Structure 1
Amino acid sequence: MTINEHLRVFAGLPVAAFDPHAAPPADPAARAWRVDTDYDGGDALFALRLDALLAADWAGRVEALVIGQWTDNAYDCSAPIGQLVAAADRLTGLRALFLGDQVMEESEISWIQQGDITPLLEAYPALEVLGVRGGENLELKPVRHDRLRELTIECGGLPASVVRALGESELPALARLELWLGTEEYGGDATVDDVAPLLTGTRLPALRHLGLRNAEIVDHVAAALAGAGVVAQLESLDLSMGILTDTGASALLAGQPLTHLTVLDLHHHYLSAAVTDRITAELVAAGVEVDLSDAGDPDDVDERYIEVSE
């Protein structure tokens, strides 16, 4: 899988590119505003566009913001977290933020330089949706945030320190959590022990969707989920895009019931026909919508790979 298309919809709103020269919108809250640059404009064009948005007399009515490419040099320039934190007194209506909506032609996902996202959560206590793409230099400290409902982190390798910080955070409103754990080759060094605190359910009482995707360690995660307290409260579970084999799927099926789920996403897997047949018989027949598409050869160990790495 490659990320080859920018977000068209974010936080339920159509995404529109911000144009400093356009007439003011009739309803700034009706769009998710995208701020970015290109290879010709580089850092200067991004700064011009962001500054113009923040200077607009309607900036306080913006509810959703998508930050795309912010530089022409993905290797050396970190995400504009500091600028966004400093702008909190102008973006007073912000409820949703996506940081790093960059496609393959702009930057490989492993090149996107992030930073410490903790100050964003601290600066925007009313934030409800946060999406982050890229794991290079990504940091998070344990934090309490009472309004965050959705958190997505997309990367080819999620640092274990970020996973542990999430497990130590207090996020009482979080209903959707999606983490791309990735591969150790690209910094995804989290173990199932690092993930375990997220699976108890005690710190995430509102969680209804859990995605532990794109994971090299998905067999271990599936086995841990077999007895995890969080499963009973979920409506949907996503273990797609990783290296799921019969070992992990069989452990998951041997654990607690999954028939209460509405959706189980396992696409991009390495399961045998016997196990997929068992999933169909036990879950699909019970009304669970199961995605078993994009099947790899379960016998070709050397050709197993997560869907997104570089």
Structure 2
Amino acid sequence: MANSRTWSVGSHVLSYVHHVEQFYGLPAFTFSPYVSPADLPDPGSVAWRLQWDESSREADYWARFTGTVELEKVRALVFGHPWYDADGFPDGGLVDLRSRLTGLEALFLGDLEDEEAMISTICLGTVAPVLEAFPGLRELAVRGGEGLGFPVTGHEGLRVLRVESGGLPPQAAAQIAAADLPSLERLDLWLGDDDYGGGTTVEDLAPLLAGRGKPALRHLGLQNSPIQDELAAALASAPVVARLTSLSLSMGALSDEGVEALLQGQPLTHLRELDLSHHFLSHAMMLRIWTELEPAGVRVDLTARQEEDEDQLEWGQGHGRYVAVAE
């Protein structure tokens, strides 16, 4: 299996794993130690992307950034390669600079593309020190999964949490589901494949599905999962759905069985968006869900229809369906 599957739409090739061009509503700007300070943008006008190359030492690069940019005005940081040490945690200097990064509101850890590192091999470690160090953080995005831990009982300010993973450790998923995040409005979890560290079950997500600990939640994405049908069946009666304005079950192994459960469950007509892209639905089921929800004003995304993998079926390896991003 490739690192992440791609497909063509017209003349465009789409991929799920790529460098962010915008983050926290700001354009991403890669810091270069060779640029004159006079030519750098205003510190609060961009999301600073930090990625050193072989032409400069990591310590020198970090020192140049922290000594050149007015950190108190920085609102967003994006960490790329190779800011992950052997313990799987971003450079300790980030937490050490909490007294200077007083305006930090958004953080992206692991902004690496397939050519730099397979998503299943990006080590993250525990994010608890970061959330503790930055109580003003509003958005946190992480890409990876190996070693990821989220032993956080709560965070008052976090509004957006996104975890992009080819295999999210079930313990981390359960910790996120149980965390008290009263301001959280958007949550996206790429659960990933069991063979690459995944394995999250519906039971692991029980507090989240019950609507506990996240009263402000309006968007929920449970994506990139091989158990998408089971998740759909659970969401059919989950209390959290009633408060949502958008729901995503994209990137996974969703079949007619899961959509049938959704349609037989609680009403979905209050949603503005239902994202089911990268699915294994029959044309008849696609027409059915579109016919039932689109007239009610629900935008249903049914793009990227997949065919079951005939090799897996022939070899008796499961149902032949696969997630969008694994290795």
Question: In 2, distance between residues paired with 1:81 and 1:262?
Answer: 40
Shift of 1:143: 2.3
Partner in structure 1 of residue 316 of structure 2: none
Partner in structure 1 of residue 37 of structure 2: 23
Shift of 1:4: 5.4
Residues 245/75 of structure 1: CA separation in 2 closer, same or farther (3 Å cut): farther
Deviations along 1:85-114, whole A, 9 cap, x unmatched? 112112111000000000111111111111
The question of whether the paired residues in 2 share the 8 Å contact of 1:4 and 1:105 is answered with no
1:252 and 2:262 matched: yes
Shift of 1:155: 0.7
Shift of 1:278: 1.2
Residues 91/3 of structure 1: CA separation in 2 closer, same or farther (3 Å cut): same
Written as runs of structure 1 = structure 2, the 5 A alignment for 1:41-120 is 41=55, 45-56=57-68, 58-70=70-82, 76=86, 78-120=88-130
Partner in structure 2 of residue 309 of structure 1: 326
Q: C-alpha root-mean-square deviation of aligned residues, in Å?
A: 1.9
Q: State the identity as a percent.
A: 48
Counterpart amino acid of residue 134 in structure 1 = G
Question: In 1, distance between residues paired with 2:59 and 2:148?
Answer: 22
Written as runs of structure 1 = structure 2, the 5 A alignment for 1:211-290 is 211-290=221-300
Counterpart amino acid of residue 32 in structure 1 = A
Shift of 1:289: 0.6
The question of whether the paired residues in 1 share the 8 Å contact of 2:166 and 2:198 is answered with yes
Residues 245/299 of structure 1: CA separation in 2 closer, same or farther (3 Å cut): farther
1:8 and 2:5 matched: no
Residues 78/51 of structure 1: CA separation in 2 closer, same or farther (3 Å cut): farther
Runs of 5+ unmatched residues, structure 2:
6-14, 314-319
Deviations along 1:247-278, whole A, 9 cap, x unmatched? 11111111111011111000110111221111
Shift of 1:26: 5.5
| SS of corresponding position for 1:30 | coil
Written as runs of structure 1 = structure 2, the 5 A alignment for 1:105-144 is 105-144=115-154
Residues 4/191 of structure 1: CA separation in 2 closer, same or farther (3 Å cut): closer
Partner in structure 1 of residue 50 of structure 2: 35
The question of whether the paired residues in 1 share the 8 Å contact of 2:160 and 2:187 is answered with yes
Deviations along 1:73-96, whole A, 9 cap, x unmatched? x89562315332112112111000
Deviations along 1:114-164, whole A, 9 cap, x unmatched? 111111101100000000000011111032111000000001011111111
TM-score (norm 2): 0.88
The question of whether the paired residues in 2 share the 8 Å contact of 1:96 and 1:129 is answered with yes
Deviations along 1:36-62, whole A, 9 cap, x unmatched? 123x34xx6333222222233611110
TM-score (norm 1): 0.93
Runs of 5+ unmatched residues, structure 1:
none
Deviations along 1:207-231, whole A, 9 cap, x unmatched? 0110111011111111110011111
| SS of corresponding position for 1:179 | strand
Residues 223/3 of structure 1: CA separation in 2 closer, same or farther (3 Å cut): closer
Partner in structure 2 of residue 146 of structure 1: 156
Written as runs of structure 1 = structure 2, the 5 A alignment for 1:164-175 is 164-175=174-185
Answer with 196-205 or 147-156: which moved more: 196-205
| SS of corresponding position for 2:305 | coil
**How many residues in Structure 1 have an aligned counterpart in Structure 2?**
305
Counterpart amino acid of residue 20 in structure 1 = P
The question of whether the paired residues in 1 share the 8 Å contact of 2:95 and 2:129 is answered with yes
The question of whether the paired residues in 2 share the 8 Å contact of 1:81 and 1:117 is answered with no
Counterpart amino acid of residue 72 in structure 2 = G
